[in-house]
Amino acid sequence: MPKFSLPFSMKNKLVLMFVSMTFVTYFSLAFILQYAIERHFYSQDFSYISSKFNAIEKELI
């Protein structure tokens, strides 16, 4: 039974494709997580600050 073997250059291309797709996946996930966390805390901080501002404004009026 003959063994199936890839040429050396084909192995290198497959390894390079795997490594590059791993990096692309990691960077994509990192960017998505960073964006989601940033937007969550921005809206959370904005609502907190605006509620404090509205409370102070009501006291002054």
Per-residue HEC secondary structure of the chain comes to: CCCCCCCHHHHHHHHHHHHHHHHHHHHHHHHHHHHHHHHHHHHHHHHHHHHHHHHHHHHHC
* Spans of the chain below 70 pLDDT: 1-4, 6, 61
Give the pLDDT confidence score for residue 24 in this predicted structure: 97
Residue 55 CA, chain-centre distance (Å), reads 36
Query: Please, are residues 4 and 11 in contact by the beta-carbon 8 Å criterion?
Result: no
Quote the pLDDT of residue 6.
66
Both structure tokens of 33: 């997580």
